[in-house]
Amino acid sequence: MDCGTCDSAPAVVVEAPAPVNVSLTITDKARAMLSDAFGDTEGQSLLVGVLSGGCSGYMYDLQIIEGSEPDCQSLEIMGINVQVPNASSHLLDGIEIDYEDRLMGGGFKINNPNAGSTCGCGESFG
């Protein structure tokens, strides 16, 4: 809003990072858990994305989806269909998807060489 009493500031230009061709790995344990989750259903993919939030700035978002999402890279990793949104490709290039058994149940863990900092829970990074 311009009240006319101050000089107007120029518009801020926000540039999205250019998409990068993602390379990622899935451990044998994570692949086994994903294969169980997919079952015999054809056409499912693992969507690996990033959400704003968490203790460190970003949170990982893993979802099993039907079909494909627009503006995503489709990868075939060890028989698992993986989709990565181009908008977050620069944050996810080089990650390793692992599965860990824990005392209170297991869960997927992302090892990310791009993360400057990570949360103690392992679910967020910055």
| Beta carbons within 10 angstroms of residue 119's beta carbon | 16
Q: Is the pLDDT of residue 12 over 80?
A: no
What pLDDT score was predicted for residue 84? 97
Closest CA to 97 of 60, 45, 71, 124: 60
Q: 14: pLDDT confidence band, cut at 50, 70 and 90?
A: confident
pLDDT over 70, % of the chain: 84
Element containing residue 90 per DSSP (H, E): helix 89-92
Q: Which fold has domain 25-125?
A: Hypothetical Protein Aq_1857; Chain: A; (2.60.300)
List the chain domain ranges.
25-125
Element containing residue 30 per DSSP (H, E): helix 28-38
**d(Cα 3, Cα 107) in Å, to the nearest integer?**
53
